[in-house]
């Protein structure tokens, strides 16, 4: 392969909802680009993109796949992304490095959650968007309705560049408003015949062509004068204006395809070649320090790892975009993220599991390499003077589905931990927490399907039998009123005894509260607790009732009991402890005695201080089709949700609510069932709040039963 220069490279991501046909269109692109001699199909499990065992088994994309073709003197890098929102992390990483998003739409179903999510990420990354309406050969296709939805949801800059003559069964022709020709496709697809526009289509074509020309002229000031002077643009000027509009996101062109029959794909590639920006025509990537990357080949090399994969017989493979300079084999670089020194041993252009070895690649290209020592997704590799300059990282969505995971065979525990960490490297939307508090491994991801795929990998590829179990909830315990108590620890069993007596007053802690005035405070220790909240420990001892050397032991005993709260064994928080009196024995008092006395005094005072259980509350945002709004609201109310507000976005309603984490178990499955898979949601930790009294009673009873079972 020749070394393509920056202005000869196009980087596109195929994005959109599930079943929109992205992988089939990618296959047709590879065929049209000459990379493959025969188009594979999802049904036959023979596509270049969905080559992984799990993808062939499920017949849909699970991971994004890097592909490329050479077309009309350009290299087009293609990232085929999954459509299910469980795998939205793959879309986020693809749109970090793509220079154009090609949004594939299903002409039968229109805008769905996958479309909206991809649109949001294209906005966040300032990525130009081209719409391609697919499945026009189906009897339920409705092009005009799709256009109405697109304009309503994404604005007037959605611009029709093609429309179908006969969508539905028998579809084989489109009107191309750039060329002002009818493209009629032969049976089996491929190169269309260019014909004059039929008379009965001319009025509609001319009306839409005028809109296209006006939008193109508005995108480029130099064309405005031409347009005002002549009232139209040549095809070269039209392409110039479309490219300007696409590049600055002032125009979102709409094209027509039937990917399964390879109709319109060749023209889509031609449109990308002429009208999509090359990397150096965009200024949408910045470093952590705020510097804009400009794709200069004369600068020291800088590349960003946007995806990490593990391939059979190959090991770890790093996919990266070059943002500056030139990359060659044997090049030494520094990882700006962790400081490790690396050598680029080999570089490849990748098409699924096929790799073509390169000798050199330049700024703007997307390549892969292997055998890096300490490099993962979101790392920046630099050569030369800019070794500390890091590209701003991909912002992955927060997890929204959690489960506890354990190996069925205890001997596999260590191997399971290592594999879960490897999974996180490959997919950073999977997170693993080894919870000392809950005594569980908590696996979190984007949905039940997401984590079931992880389970499939563990069991099928690594032969580790695992089970998912309901995750425990990290409750907290606190108090609501002051309480006093004393406890005397006394033990005599021959020889040296144990003696320690502690008198304490405990109070609820709140930020900015006033100190109690009943006892003088002679010293204050504030502990910011690792699990949230505070413990304030006040020394109020007068007259030497307890020697100062025993106070740390009392504090240690209290901390031990806060780690295993008196009500349910959950962490306690937000408490002020005043130690105001006590007694010592000249021989039998020691640190152990006062630690035990402090622990028991705290336990008894806690139970008399209006103890309350706190539960984690999450901010939940649900994006739901308007027609499913009632069912979703009813379900949320059944989950003790407090609705904070509602908004609308096109045909979707956005519900914002605060919901207890305990009520969110398997919510993604329930939401999918209620909305036929057309809704999505996100959640983020908010704060801790008191549980209702009936819930607290149930929790206390469950804890008592558990304690009995453990005895």
Give pLDDT tens digits for 555-572: 999 999 999 999 999 999
pLDDT at 638 over 80: yes
**What is the phi/psi pair of residue 6, to 5°?**
-55, -40
Of 89, 34, 97, the residue nearest 380 (C-alpha):
97
Going by pLDDT thresholds of 50, 70 and 90, the confidence category of residue 229 is: confident
**pLDDT digits over 452-485, tens only?**
999 999 999 899 999 999 999 999 999 999 999 9
**CATH code of the domain containing 636:** 3.30.70.240
End-to-end Cα, the chain, rounded Å = 71
Is 357 inside any structural domain?
Answer: yes
- The Cα–Cα gap between 254 and 145 comes to 13
Instruction: Mention every residue, 6+ apart, whose C-beta is less than 8 A from residue 466.
Output: 405, 406, 407, 408, 416, 455, 458, 459
Is 215 inside any structural domain?
Answer: no
What pLDDT, on a 0 to 100 scale, did the predictor assign at position 492?
Answer: 78
**CATH code of the domain containing 76:** 3.40.50.300
In the predicted model, what is the mean pLDDT of residues 585-600?
A: 93
Is 255 inside any structural domain?
Answer: yes
Indicate the SS3 state at residue 408: coil
In the predicted model, what is the mean pLDDT of residues 602-627?
A: 94
- The Cα–Cα gap between 701 and 703 comes to 5
**pLDDT digits over 509-541, tens only?**
999 999 999 999 999 999 999 999 999 999 999
What pLDDT, on a 0 to 100 scale, did the predictor assign at position 187?
Answer: 87
Is 625 inside any structural domain?
Answer: yes
Same-domain status, 523 and 561: yes
Going by pLDDT thresholds of 50, 70 and 90, the confidence category of residue 705 is: confident
**Strand residues in 516-641 grouped as ranges (E):** 523-528, 534-539, 571-572, 575-583, 612-625
* Consecutive H or E run containing 435: strand 431-435
In the predicted model, what is the mean pLDDT of residues 79-105?
A: 95
Handedness of CA 219, 223, 225, 228 (dihedral sign): negative
Same-domain status, 62 and 33: yes
Is 291 inside any structural domain?
Answer: no
Going by pLDDT thresholds of 50, 70 and 90, the confidence category of residue 38 is: very high
The rounded mean pLDDT for the chain is 92
Instruction: Mention every residue, 6+ apart, whose C-beta is less than 8 A from residue 661.
Output: 473, 474, 615, 616, 617, 618
**CATH code of the domain containing 307:** 2.40.30.10
What pLDDT, on a 0 to 100 scale, did the predictor assign at position 109?
Answer: 86
Going by pLDDT thresholds of 50, 70 and 90, the confidence category of residue 106 is: very high
What pLDDT, on a 0 to 100 scale, did the predictor assign at position 386?
Answer: 65
Q: Which token pair is 178? A: 């750039």
- The Cα–Cα gap between 336 and 157 comes to 39
pLDDT at 600 over 60: yes
Which of 588, 608, 628 is at the close of a domain? 608
Is 370 inside any structural domain?
Answer: yes
Question: Which string of DSSP letters, residue by residue, matches 270-338?
Answer: HHHHHHSPPGGG----BBTTSPBP---TTSPPEEEEEEEEEETTTEEEEEEEEEESEEETTEEEEETTT
In the predicted model, what is the mean pLDDT of residues 13-21?
A: 94
Provide the domain limits for residue 332.
Answer: 302-386
Number of structural domains in the chain: 5
Evaluate whether 531 touches 614 at the Cβ level (below 8 Å): no
**CATH code of the domain containing 502:** 3.30.230.10
Same-domain status, 572 and 671: no
Rounded to whole angstroms, what are the CA distances from 319 to 305, 367, 370, 532, 585? Answer: 6, 6, 9, 38, 70
In the predicted model, what is the mean pLDDT of residues 667-684?
A: 88
Is 24 inside any structural domain?
Answer: yes
Which of 325, 356, 386 is at the close of a domain? 386
In the predicted model, what is the mean pLDDT of residues 271-282?
A: 95
Instruction: Mention every residue, 6+ apart, whose C-beta is less than 8 A from residue 510.
Output: 574
pLDDT at 289 over 80: yes
What pLDDT, on a 0 to 100 scale, did the predictor assign at position 458?
Answer: 94
Q: What is the dihedral of CA 100, 106, 110, 113, to 10 degrees?
A: -70
Same-domain status, 351 and 482: no
Same-domain status, 39 and 186: yes
Going by pLDDT thresholds of 50, 70 and 90, the confidence category of residue 494 is: low
**pLDDT digits over 172-215, tens only?**
999 999 999 999 999 888 899 999 999 999 999 999 999 999 99
Same-domain status, 497 and 553: yes
Percent helix, percent strand, percent coil in the chain, to nearest 5: 30, 30, 35
- Percent pLDDT > 90 in the chain is 77
Indicate the SS3 state at residue 698: helix
Is 54 inside any structural domain?
Answer: yes
* Look-up of token digits 């692109």: 29
Q: Are strands 129-134 and 100-106 parallel, antiparallel or unpaired?
A: parallel
Instruction: Mention every residue, 6+ apart, whose C-beta is less than 8 A from residue 56.
Output: 45, 50
Same-domain status, 433 and 347: no
Going by pLDDT thresholds of 50, 70 and 90, the confidence category of residue 709 is: low
Same-domain status, 51 and 186: yes
**CATH code of the domain containing 447:** 3.30.70.870
Same-domain status, 430 and 533: no
What pLDDT, on a 0 to 100 scale, did the predictor assign at position 612?
Answer: 96
In the predicted model, what is the mean pLDDT of residues 37-47?
A: 92
**pLDDT digits over 324-365, tens only?**
999 999 999 999 988 899 999 999 999 998 999 999 999 999
Same-domain status, 263 and 149: yes
What pLDDT, on a 0 to 100 scale, did the predictor assign at position 680?
Answer: 86
Same-domain status, 597 and 667: no
Which of 441, 472, 503 is at the close of a domain? 472
What pLDDT, on a 0 to 100 scale, did the predictor assign at position 543?
Answer: 87
pLDDT at 493 over 90: no
Same-domain status, 123 and 31: yes
pLDDT at 613 over 70: yes
- The Cα–Cα gap between 482 and 72 comes to 79
């Amino acid at each position: 392969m020749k070394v393509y220069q920056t202005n000869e490279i196009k980087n596109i991501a195929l994005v959109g909802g599930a079943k929109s046909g992205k992988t089939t269109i990618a296959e047709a692109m590879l065929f049209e680009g000459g990379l493959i001699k025969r188009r594979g199909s999802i049904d036959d499990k023979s596509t270049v993109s969905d080559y992984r065992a799990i993808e062939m088994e499920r017949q849909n994309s699970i991971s994004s796949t890097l592909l490329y073709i050479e077309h009309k003197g350009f290299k087009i890098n293609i990232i085929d992304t999954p459509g299910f929102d469980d795998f939205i992390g793959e879309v986020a990483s693809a749109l970090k490095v793509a220079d154009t998003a090609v949004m594939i739409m299903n002409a039968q179903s229109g805008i769905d959650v996958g479309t909206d999510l991809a649109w949001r990420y294209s906005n966040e990354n300032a990525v130009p968007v081209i719409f391609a309406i697919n499945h026009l050969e189906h009897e339920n296709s409705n092009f005009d309705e799709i256009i109405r939805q697109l304009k309503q949801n994404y604005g007037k800059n959605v611009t029709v560049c093609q429309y179908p003559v006969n969508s539905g069964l028998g579809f084989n022709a489109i009107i191309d408003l750039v060329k002002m020709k009818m493209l009629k496709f032969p049976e089996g697809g491929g190169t269309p015949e260019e014909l004059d526009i039929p008379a009965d289509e001319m009025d509609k074509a001319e009306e839409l062509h005028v809109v296209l020309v006006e939008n193109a002229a508005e995108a480029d000031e130099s064309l405005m004068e031409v347009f005002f002077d002549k009232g139209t643009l040549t095809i070269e000027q039209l392409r110039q204006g479309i490219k300007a509009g696409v590049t600055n996101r002032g125009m979102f062109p709409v094209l027509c395809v039937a990917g399964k029959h390879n109709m319109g794909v060749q023209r889509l590639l031609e449109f990308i070649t002429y009208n999509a920006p090359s990397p150096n025509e965009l200024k949408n990537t910045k470093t952590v320090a705020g510097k804009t990357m400009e794709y200069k080949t004369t600068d020291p090399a800088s590349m960003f790892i946007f995806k990490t994969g593990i391939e059979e017989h190959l090991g770890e493979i790093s996919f990266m975009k070059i943002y500056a300079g030139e990359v060659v084999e044997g090049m030494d670089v520094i990882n700006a993220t962790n400081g490790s020194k690396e050598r680029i041993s080999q570089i490849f252009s990748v098409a699924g599991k096929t790799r073509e070895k390169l000798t050199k690649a330049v700024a703007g290209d997307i390549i892969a390499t292997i055998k890096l020592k300490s490099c993962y997704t979101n790392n920046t590799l630099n050569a030369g003077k800019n070794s500390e300059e890091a590209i701003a990282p991909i912002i992955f969505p927060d997890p929204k589905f959690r489960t506890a995971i354990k190996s069925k065979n205890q001997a596999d525990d260590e191997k399971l931990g290592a594999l879960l960490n490897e999974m996180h490297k490959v997919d950073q939307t999977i997170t693993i927490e080894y919870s000392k508090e809950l005594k569980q491994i908590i696996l979190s991801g984007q949905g039940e399907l997401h984590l079931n795929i992880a389970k499939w990998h563990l069991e099928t590829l690594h032969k580790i039998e695992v089970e998912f179990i309901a995750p425990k909830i990290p409750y907290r315990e606190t108090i609501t009123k002051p309480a006093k108590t004393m406890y005397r620890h006394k033990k005599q069993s021959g020889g040296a005894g144990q003696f320690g007596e502690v008198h304490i007053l405990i109070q609820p802690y709140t930020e900015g509260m006033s100190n109690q005035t009943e006892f003088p405070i002679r010293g204050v220790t504030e502990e910011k607790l690792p699990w949230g909240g505070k413990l304030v420990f006040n020394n109020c001892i007068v007259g030497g009732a307890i020697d100062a050397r025993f106070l740390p032991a009392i504090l240690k005993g209290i901390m031990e009991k806060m780690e295993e709260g008196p009500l349910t064994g959950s962490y306690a928080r937000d408490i002020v402890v005043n130690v105001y009196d006590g007694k010592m024995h000249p021989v039998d008092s020691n640190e152990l005695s006062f630690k035990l006395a402090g622990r028991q005094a705290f336990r008894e005072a806690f139970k008399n201080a209006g103890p309350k259980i706190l539960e984690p509350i999450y901010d939940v945002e649900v994006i739901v089709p308007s027609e499913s709004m009632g069912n979703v609201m009813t379900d949320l109310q059944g989950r003790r949700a407090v609705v904070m507000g509602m908004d609308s976005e096109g045909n979707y309603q956005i519900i914002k609510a605060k919901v207890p984490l305990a009520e969110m178990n398997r919510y993604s499955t329930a939401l999918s069932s209620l909305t036929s898979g057309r809704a999505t949601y996100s959640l983020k930790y908010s704060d801790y709040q008191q549980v209702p009294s009936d819930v607290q009673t149930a929790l206390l009873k469950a804890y008592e039963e558990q304690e009995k079972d453990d005895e």
